[in-house]
Amino acid sequence: MRTFFTRIKSYFSLVKFSHTVFAMPFALIGFSLAVSQNDYSFSLRLLLLIILCMIFARNAAMGFNRIADNRFDALNPRTKNREIPKGVISTRAATIFVIINAALFIITTAFINRLTLILSPVALLIILGYSLTKRYTSLCHFILGLGLSLSPTGAYISVTGSFALLPVIYSFIVLTWSSGFDIIYALQDDQFDRSQELKSVPSAIGLKSAIKVSVIVHAATFCLVMIAGYLGKGGILFWSGALLFTSLLIYQHAIVKHDDLSRVNLAFGTTNGIASLLFAFFVILDLFLQHY
């Protein structure tokens, strides 16, 4: 039994399950935007299906990323102790894990509605394809952001079966926000990426300029949050959440310097995780109070 739970723990570590906190709250925002409309009502069944889709899709994407990057992870001192290079999980086992999760994702979308099923292969193509983009383009951070940005619009479509402007705005918030913090995360691999001819914003233009790009991208995030509040007629709770979210964006840039990367993980993981949770909490509560 202990071996079984150790194995499960290894897979949780493989996919960095704790990082689900980045996109999941925005999926819940997309769901809440839909059910706050008069034509739709809350469905626990649908909410659980959306959560399962998020989990399966992310498991497939992260598992594939670990397989695709195995050779580089084994060479990089920062990542050499990850599960596959260390031999805790074999490449074959990880491949089976990815296939199962990808299949479960598509199957789950079939229980939601026709449009989510039709779009599911497109979503998989984007989130799996990201893992190969670092070999070809420094814009790889934005491909990652695109994959994560599917969450609010995907959740909205799961309820309504159609697109709408406001959830798309939230998708752009996720795209710019996550792209910006992924550039920060990539700072620590600048020298390694250069040595392996891997592409990233830091390896292309240097650490100092990369941080400036991240600031610009996060400035766009701030503008999009303002637009979302205006279009969604946000109340005091929305704007409180927006203030906290923006403050944490500023904070992560205050603690990461081009000549001091010691707090990159604090900025990348902890700060953005808290920002996502707080923003979603206040946005959803605002929608709930406006609706009821």
37-64 pLDDT, tens per residue? 878 889 999 999 999 999 999 999 999 9
Give mean pLDDT, residues 111-132.
95
- pLDDT > 70: what percent of the chain? 97
pLDDT, residue 266, reads 86
Say if residues 145 and 174 touch (Cβ distance below 8 Å). Answer: yes
d(CA 218, CA 236): 23
pTM assigned to the model: 0.94
Q: Which phi-psi region, left, alpha or beta, contains residue 53 (left: φ > 0; alpha: ψ -120 to 50)?
A: alpha
Neighbours of 1 (CB within 10 A): 5
What token pair was written down for 130?
């990201």
Q: Tens digits of per-residue pLDDT, 64-96?
A: 999 999 999 999 999 999 999 999 999 999 999
How far is residue 101's CA from residue 291's CA, in Å, rounded to a whole number? Answer: 35
Can you give 184-232 as a three-state secondary structure string?
HHHHHHHHHHHHCCCCCHHHHHCHHHHHHHHHHHHHHHHHHHHHHHHHC
From CA 155, how far away is CA 12, in angstroms rounded? 24
- CA–CA distance, 251 with 267 (Å, rounded to integer): 8
End-to-end CA distance of the chain: 47
The per-residue pLDDT for 15 is 77
Q: Counting Cβ atoms within 10 Å, is residue 87 exposed (0-12), middle (13-18) or buried (19+)?
A: exposed
The structure tokens listed for 200 are 């990233």
**Domain coordinates in residue numbering, the chain:** 2-291
Compute the average pLDDT of residues 179-191.
Answer: 96
pLDDT value at position 2?
A: 52
pLDDT computed for residue 31 by the predictor: 97
Q: What is the structure's pLDDT at 1? A: 54
121: pLDDT strictly greater than 90: yes
The CATH code for residues 2-291 is: 1.10.357.140
As to burial, measured by CB atoms within 10 angstroms (0-12 exposed, 13-18 middle, 19+ buried), residue 111 is middle
**Rounded Cα distance, 242 and 279, in Å:** 6
**CA-to-CA distance for 153 and 140, rounded, in angstroms?**
21
CA–CA distance from 57 to each of 34, 80, 109, 121, 158 (Å)?
A: 21, 25, 11, 11, 15
Give the mean pLDDT of 203-227: 97
Q: State the average pLDDT over residues 233-252.
A: 97
Tally of CB atoms within 10 A around 282: 22
